[in-house]
Amino acid sequence: MINDIAQERERQTESLLNKFNLWRKDHISERQFILLLSLVVGVFTAFAAILLKYLISLIHGTIYGNLIPNSENYSLLIYPVVGILVSGLFIRYIVRDDIGHGVTKILYALSKKNGRIKPHNMYSSVIASAITIGMGGSVGAESPIVLTGSAIGSNIGRMFKMEHRTLMLLVGCGSAGAIAGIFKAPIAGLVFVLEVLMFDLSMGSLLPLLVSSVTAATISYVFTGTDSMFHFVSDHGFDLSRIPYALLLGVTCGLVSLYFSQTMHWFETWFKKFSNPWVKFVIGAVVLSVLIFHLPSLFGEGYDTIGILLNVNEADGKVMEGSLFYGGNLLLYLAFVLVFKVFASTATNAGGGCGGIFAPSLFMGCLTGFIFGTLMNNLVPGADISVQNFALFGMAGLMSGVMFAPLTGVFLIAELTGGYSMFLPLMMVSIMSYLTIRLFQPHSIYSMRLAQKGELMTHHKDQSVLLLMSMDNLIEKEFLKVRPDMDLGQLVNIIARSKRNLFPVVDDNDCLVGVVNLESIRNIMFRQELYHRFMVQKLMELPPARLSVKDPMDAVMKKFDETGAWNLPVEDEEGRYVGFVSKSKIFNSYRSVLLELSEE
């Protein structure tokens, strides 16, 4: 009965949407409707960001309010473990889908799914990440909210039957709105989409992205105030004589970014060796709780520590509160935190939690800049570096290096702190960090996993077209199959019914064993005296190469180029024959996708 009522309501909703879509096509232009949808996406993503920040603050405040400063807090051994346990159970038994690596999932949706993201992503990441981070998980809320915003954009677009190019644009609008809403940084939201999600900038896409960013940031200002996320008032302007130090800090940030990316990738790969989720949970819980117990600054996102370090006068005492290192050397403590942050973040996610690397990047960048500035002041006579300023520069440098997004790093830090007077050194550090890490690895931590599988869309137009082409749409299945034990007479009867000149030869398991080409047997196919003398097994040829249904399109094109073939057979994952792919169909599909990609 309940199911019948739900189905009836779904049918009524679908009918109303269909009527509205017919009406708006006659009364609202496509461009105007896209701008309206981008506004709606900005509104919803802003409220999602506000809700996530509120939930984290509520849980975190409740937990942290029970901790005793300047003492050994054994509760830190328990709270983060409970957080990743509850979050893991929610993901495994309620969501029943992998919701980690939010930005990577968006890149995959853009590359391989035409911008389609599952509906549950509109809420699942908010709930799971709020539990994880609020209870002390050492990750950030930004990647989950970016996935949430993208899912909102994708599903609103699908609800109104938008074509896939518009759907992908609305995914970008959701991402831009999410960054703008959670950070109150509209420019950073726009630049993030262009740099990290690798959107091609055009006038047709720029305005909707701006609308979503500004809308989300405005709503965030209205509900959470106009103050910057971090209080930063610089007592020292940037002197041009500090340029060499800024460049050296950029190189240092690039190397720390490399350490962060490679160590996280290695540690995640190590965790994947364990198929049992409970084993992963136990290992992650032990690593996380032990690290947080000894280094309380690893508890949660780390924004409290950033706020303290940006106010140098408070740093010495407050940063180490609750730590076994309390009263010890601050730089040594921060160095330990810097080294082990990546392990705490990876253990949080691999153990069952949900969170991103935005906050860890900002956190480690702040520590890197603070340590670098302090060391330069101690080691170089007359350096007179503003440690506060360099902590700020380090945040931009790490974000630039980890995400391969120098402009996002610059604008985000400027908007987060109100440090607009520091644009020049921020750009120097960001660019040097980016150039440094590019010497060692070609892809950011977000795109590394997809690039290894050949599933990454980039600004390279040819590569993007190939990624958007679907193997399923290229496979031709109307070829008539023959058996190797058939004779020439039986083969001629099949040829008479076929419209193609290729005949796949398959065995009893439907596995391809060869191909008969009509041109190769044309000289004997009309000689009836040979019909029972020649068997298909003698007449068939081996194909020059075989394709798999899982092959990426660049690998398909490479095989065509290497063999010079015009048609190649396709097999499924079990090795069974599926059909043929022709070079001419690839060319036609390529031209069609290229035309769509190039249009405004």
pLDDT at residue 178 above 50? yes
Question: Model-level pTM?
Answer: 0.76
Q: Looking at residue 466, what is its pLDDT? A: 56
Q: What is the mean pLDDT of residues 17-34?
A: 74
Task: Name the CATH code of domain 468-598 (choices 1.10.645.10, 3.10.580.10, 3.40.50.300, 3.40.50.10860).
Answer: 3.10.580.10
CA 154: distance to chain centroid?
Answer: 15
- What would the pLDDT profile of 399-448 be if each residue is shown by its tens digit? 999 988 888 888 888 887 766 678 888 899 999 999 999 999 887 777 76
198: left (phi over 0), alpha (psi -120 to 50) or beta: left
Q: What is the mean pLDDT of residues 456-476?
A: 62
Q: Looking at residue 330, what is its pLDDT? A: 82
Q: What is the mean pLDDT of residues 9-20?
A: 68
pLDDT at residue 41 above 90? yes
Task: Give the DSSP H or E segment for 567.
Answer: strand 567-571
- How far is residue 548's CA from residue 172's CA, in Å, rounded to a whole number? 32
Q: Are 426 and 406 in contact (CB under 8 A)?
A: no
pLDDT at residue 311 above 90? no
Q: What is the mean pLDDT of residues 35-48?
A: 93
DSSP 8-state class, residue 312: G
- How far is residue 267's CA from residue 428's CA, in Å, rounded to a whole number? 31
Q: Looking at residue 329, what is its pLDDT? A: 78
Q: What is the mean pLDDT of residues 258-283?
A: 91
Which residues fall within 8 angstroms of residue 136, CB to CB, at 6 or more apart? 60, 63, 76, 79, 80, 83, 292, 299, 300
Of the pLDDT bands very low, low, confident and very high (cuts 50, 70, 90), residue 86 is very high
Q: Are 179 and 146 in contact (CB under 8 A)?
A: yes
Q: Looking at residue 14, what is its pLDDT? A: 67
Q: Looking at residue 247, what is its pLDDT? A: 93
Q: What is the mean pLDDT of residues 138-154?
A: 90
- How far is residue 361's CA from residue 107's CA, in Å, rounded to a whole number? 19
Q: Looking at residue 309, what is its pLDDT? A: 85
**Percent of the chain whose predicted confidence (pLDDT) is above 70:** 81
**Percent of the chain whose predicted confidence (pLDDT) is above 90:** 27
Half-sphere exposure of 375 (CA within 13 A, CB side): 15
Of the pLDDT bands very low, low, confident and very high (cuts 50, 70, 90), residue 595 is low
Of the pLDDT bands very low, low, confident and very high (cuts 50, 70, 90), residue 68 is low
Identify which has the larger pLDDT, 455 or 266. Answer: 266
Q: Looking at residue 453, what is its pLDDT? A: 56
Max alpha carbon distance in the chain (Å)?
102
Q: Looking at residue 250, what is its pLDDT? A: 94
Q: Looking at residue 594, what is its pLDDT? A: 57
Q: What is the mean pLDDT of residues 351-359?
A: 88
Backbone angles phi, psi at 147, to 5 degrees: -65, -40
Nearest 5 degrees, angle CA 203-CA 442-CA 265?
Answer: 110
Q: Are 104 and 450 in contact (CB under 8 A)?
A: yes
Q: Looking at residue 439, what is its pLDDT? A: 92
β-strand 577-582 against 567-571: which pairing, if any? antiparallel
Q: What is the mean pLDDT of residues 492-514?
A: 85
- What would the pLDDT profile of 320-353 be if each residue is shown by its tens digit? 666 666 666 788 889 999 999 999 999 999 988 8
Joined tokens for residue 324 = 């076994």
Identify which has the larger pLDDT, 155 or 528. Answer: 155
Least confident of 83-92, 109-118, 530-539: 109-118
Q: Looking at residue 448, what is its pLDDT? A: 67
Q: What is the mean pLDDT of the chain?
A: 82
Q: What CATH superfamily classification does 28-224 receive?
A: Clc chloride channel (1.10.3080.10)
Q: Looking at residue 600, what is its pLDDT? A: 42
Of the pLDDT bands very low, low, confident and very high (cuts 50, 70, 90), residue 162 is confident
Q: What is the mean pLDDT of residues 250-262?
A: 94
Least confident of 17-21, 357-361, 401-405, 409-413: 17-21
Q: Looking at residue 468, what is its pLDDT? A: 60
Q: Looking at residue 70, what is its pLDDT? A: 46
Q: What is the mean pLDDT of residues 238-257?
A: 88
Q: Looking at residue 64, what is its pLDDT? A: 67
Calculate the alpha carbon distances from 83 to 122, 133, 337, 350, 360 in Å: 21, 8, 21, 13, 18
Calculate the alpha carbon distances from 567 to 285, 492, 510, 555, 572 in Å: 53, 21, 19, 15, 17
Which residues fall within 8 angstroms of residue 125, CB to CB, at 6 or more apart? 99, 102, 144, 145, 147, 148, 354
The CATH architecture annotation of domain 240-462 reads Orthogonal Bundle (1.10)
Q: Are domains 28-224 and 468-598 of this chain identical in fold?
A: no
What are the residue ranges spanned by the domains of the chain?
A: 28-224, 240-462, 468-598
Q: Are 153 and 41 in contact (CB under 8 A)?
A: yes
